[in-house]
Homo-oligomer: A and B are copies of this chain.
Amino acid sequence: VTTGRRIDGYDIVAFDADDTLWRCEDSFRYAESRFAELVGPYVPKGVDLDAALRAVEKADVSVSGYGVKAFTLSMARAAIDVTDGAIPSAVVGDLLDVGRSMLLETVHLLPHVSEVLVEIAANIRIVLITKGDLVHQTRKVTTSGIEHHFSDIEILLEKDPAAYDKIMKRLGVEPERFLMIGNSVRSDVLPVMALGGHAVHIPYHLTWELERVDHHDEDVVELASIADLPAWLGIRSAFS
């Protein structure tokens, strides 16, 4: 682990949300298991339903974007296609219900998130930068109980260098004074570093296939837990 610059080396600390502040991928994995259970009876044994669903998701992402509504449409489409229309529409309705439950699910903060945000927000301006569905991400933010810590909430279509550049300009921060914290090397770390900004990777035990990075040449700072962040920033912590 690289030693951190002290917190006064930054003007803004930005946090990703899904699987950085609260659980997210777990719900998708659960939905995938429900997809397999619901669609399984209508396909020959041996059909790889996970692969079928992911293929549809991958094809749909450029049209539908990220998030639960896009995923729900992909589940319905995949169920109809992989069964060649043999699945009853009532079962497609069950898949729509799975998606609806995801949209309405209570936010589950990850361990230590509340305390860490209190501690860091007492020392520096913090912002939240997430991507995905506007209505769902907004619902999660407003029901999370942690919204008030953030000076700004940005919900993006795609986390690429152009999007970060725009946000940094809007926030009035130079890249070298900007630190991004997140679980995705692809979305939270590499695009920020490409602009000359700083990032800390805090892996989550699950990573969505489309977020995986096979290879990169950056020397990425990684912390095992968000609980390690205050100490890394040189802030005394009551619990770390």
Q: Which residue of B lies closest to A90 (CB)?
A: B85
**A168 to B79 CA separation, bound complex (whole angstroms):** 45
Interface string of A90-104 (1 = CB under 8 A from B): 111100100110011
A113 interfacial contact with B, CB 8 Å: no
Instruction: Kindly identify, within residues 19 to 56 of chain A, every residue whose CB is under 8 Å from any CB belonging to chain B.
Output: none
Q: Output the least CB separation between A61 and chain B (Å).
A: 9
* Per-position binary interface string of chain A over residues 65-86, scored 1 when its CB falls under 8 Å from any chain B CB and 0 otherwise: 1100110110011011101011
The majority secondary structure among interface residues of chain A is helix
The total of chain A residues at the interface (CB under 8 A) is: 38
Out of B88, B100, B156, which one reaches A89, CB within 8 Å?
A: B88
A73 touches B96 (CB 8 A): yes
- Complex contacts, A66 vs chain B, CB 8 Å: 135
Residues in B neighbouring A100, C-beta threshold 8 A: 63
A118: CB under 8 A from chain B? no
Q: Contact at A65–B104, with CB atoms within 8 Å? A: no
**A121 close to chain B: CB less than 8 A:** no
Whether A123 is near chain B, meaning CB under 8 Å from some CB there, is no
**Once the chains bind, are B92 and A76 in contact (CB under 8 Å)?**
yes
Chain A 131-159: CB-based contact to B (< 8 A → 1; otherwise 0): 01111101000000000000000011100
